[in-house]
Amino acid sequence: MGTGHGDTCYSPVQTVRMDEVLNLPSPCVVILAGPGASGKSTWAADHFPPDCVVSSDRLRALVGDSEDDIAASADAFAVLEDIVRRRVGRRLTTVIDTLGLDRQRRTAWLSLARQQGLACVAVAFDTPAAECRARNRTRTKRIPADVLTSQLRAWARSRDALAAEGYDAVLAPQFVRVVPEGLVTATAAARRQYERPTGLRFGLHLGSFVFDGGTVATSDRLREIAAGTEEAGFDAIYVMDHFRQIPQIGRAWEDFLESYTTLAYLAACTSRVRLGALVTGITYRNVAHLGKIVSTLDVLSGGRAVCGLGLAWFAAEHKAYGWDFPSVEHRYAILEDALKLLPLLWGPGSPAFAGRDLTVPEAMCYPRPLQDRIPIIVGGGGERRTLRLAAKHADAANVFGDATTVRHKAAVLRRHCASAGREPGDVALTHLSTALIGTTDRQVADLVERLRPRGRSAAQYAATVNAGTVEDHIGRFRELAETGVQEVMVRLPDLADASPLERMAKVIAAFR
């Protein structure tokens, strides 16, 4: 494990057992409390990068002539309070390294954290008095004996008060990491996966086509990624169905490949993984033509096509290409018709179809798909209409969110299945998210620093991409599996070449 950079805090370089790790949510406020020579500054330096730690001693050296310039204490604390207020106001992880013996100061810092919706923990350094005195004697600049005695007495009172002050936790000085909120409970979940393994399918989601070597290298890089995907143990490859990059990922003028042409290329580069668009925008193509495209993909891939369908939300893309962008109600009508029409196209005969919006005199498609039924995935978590349509017509529903959100969506999907007269197992629950994966905390921090956009803090970016170690992601995916998710589609934001797939392979291996 490694020490992080910037405002995202990671673990020090040391090896610990999983059951010894405590994850704190990023961002958070950590208040250190204990007498002098109890080990606060050493612990803070071991567990947090310097930029996260606000130290009264260091500030005393800044505004005075040294850390021992007691006359500069008032100024040092004035600066400390200002720094803490500004950091917490910007929602940055802040470790307050003072004696922490003043209850009024502690409760003020707790109040600042609460105002910003941040977790706040106190770390109690209950080091025996004899040990504090022994450590003090080894210092070049000792705390005067009477001052340390006073601090030890004050600590006895503070120690007993901490539990009632309202912190999210009062901790002993143990091994801690600060991780994105979605990974806080991942360590315990990973332990459950190691002890009682469960299965899970994995799909690679390709949402960016900016590769090392530029456009001329695109086909080679994509072939390498396809081979690496199968070698890593993925079950499927999905591509976004857009015609230019979406603002959540990059800039409109970045290289972006057309989805079904790309899937055809991937079919030739692979032999095992399923292939599909996640999800096909329902307004981008004539639906009967889409049925022909997907059937062709199924034939040429040897029966590996998957059909994802969604409402097509990107209005600016429609405008740029001169396409109509129907109302939400109209798009739902097209989506429902498509869910009914496509299986007819892929089935026997050439029946006529007349839906709410679509009319097809001959629903005929030759060659027919190799699969008896091409799986249809409906993308989106809308509880009133999207999940209802998935429950009634689709083979899977794809949703977003953390485990709590997904657990709720799963319950909604089950209710819609019951209303439609289908068994809950008839409609699989799948999940799409981003995962930035490192083998160590050091590597995670380095990846975050390299990839984060200018103007976005490391902590913000880490939360957006679920930045964590292999073990973190084993835990996160175990939690999703426990909600009922059967397949996770994962976008790897550092997938400029095949190397991130090797780290993802370690996650996948834990579910095999």
Q: What is the mean pLDDT of residues 82-86?
A: 97
> In this structure, what token pair is assigned to residue 366?
């030759």
Predicted confidence at residue 14, as pLDDT, reads 39
Predicted confidence at residue 20, as pLDDT, reads 67
DSSP state letter for 273 = S
Domain 22-174: state its class: alpha beta
Please write down the HEC assignment for all residues of 178-245. EEEHHHCCHHHHHHHHHHCCCCCEEEEEECCCCCCCCHHHHHHHHHHHHHHHHHHCCCEEEECCCCCC
Predicted confidence at residue 10, as pLDDT, reads 44
The string of pLDDT tens digits covering residues 144-173 is 999 999 999 999 999 999 999 999 999 999
**Residue with more model confidence, 249 or 8:** 249
- Residue 352 CB contacts under 8 Å (≥ 6 apart), including other chains: 360, 361, 362, 363
Q: How many CB atoms lie within 10 A of CB 214?
A: 10
Q: At what angle do helices 145-162 and 103-115 cross, to 10 degrees?
A: 50
> In this structure, what token pair is assigned to residue 224?
């390498």
Predicted confidence at residue 19, as pLDDT, reads 57
CA–CA separation, 437 vs 474, rounded Å? Answer: 10
> In this structure, what token pair is assigned to residue 43?
């612990």
Predicted confidence at residue 241, as pLDDT, reads 97
Per the DSSP assignment, residues forming a β-bridge with 471 are none
The string of pLDDT tens digits covering residues 450-484 is 999 988 889 999 999 999 999 999 999 999 999 99
> Which of 59, 145, 56, 143 has its CA nearest to residue 105?
56
Per the DSSP assignment, residues forming a β-bridge with 202 are 488
CA–CA separation, 259 vs 238, rounded Å? Answer: 9
> Which of 312, 317, 315 has its CA nearest to residue 338?
312
Predicted confidence at residue 178, as pLDDT, reads 94
Predicted confidence at residue 15, as pLDDT, reads 40
**Residue with more model confidence, 13 or 183:** 183
The string of pLDDT tens digits covering residues 97-119 is 999 999 999 999 999 999 999 99
Predicted confidence at residue 497, as pLDDT, reads 81
Residues of the chain with CATH 3.40.50.300: 22-174
The string of pLDDT tens digits covering residues 263-286 is 999 999 999 999 999 999 999 999
pLDDT at residue 225 tops 70:
yes
> In this structure, what token pair is assigned to residue 359?
């009319």
Predicted confidence at residue 67, as pLDDT, reads 84
**Residue with more model confidence, 138 or 497:** 138
Amino acid at 277: A
> Which of 176, 203, 201, 174 has its CA nearest to residue 187?
176
Using alpha carbons, list the distances in angstroms from residue 91 to 52, 95, 401, 478: 12, 12, 22, 29
6-10, 179-183, 331-335, 494-498 — which is least confidently predicted?
6-10
CA–CA separation, 266 vs 275, rounded Å? Answer: 8
CA–CA separation, 476 vs 20, rounded Å? Answer: 18
Please give the helix or strand (H or E) that residue 162 lies within, else none.
helix 145-162
Predicted confidence at residue 258, as pLDDT, reads 97
> Which of 477, 487, 294, 481 has its CA nearest to residue 395?
487
Q: What is the mean pLDDT of residues 217-233?
A: 96
Predicted confidence at residue 66, as pLDDT, reads 86
CB 200 within 8 A of CB 488: yes
Residues of the chain with CATH 3.20.20.30: 187-509
CB 490 within 8 A of CB 435: yes
Question: Which of these CATH numbers, 3.20.20.30, 3.20.20.140, 3.40.718.10, 3.30.1490.20, describes 187-509?
Answer: 3.20.20.30
The string of pLDDT tens digits covering residues 128-137 is 999 999 999 9
Predicted confidence at residue 2, as pLDDT, reads 33
Average pLDDT over the chain, rounded to whole? Answer: 93
The string of pLDDT tens digits covering residues 1-50 is 333 334 455 443 334 455 567 999 999 999 999 999 999 999 999 999 99
pTM (whole model) above 0.95: no
> Which of 250, 176, 170 has its CA nearest to residue 206?
250
**Residue with more model confidence, 140 or 55:** 55
DSSP state letter for 373 = S
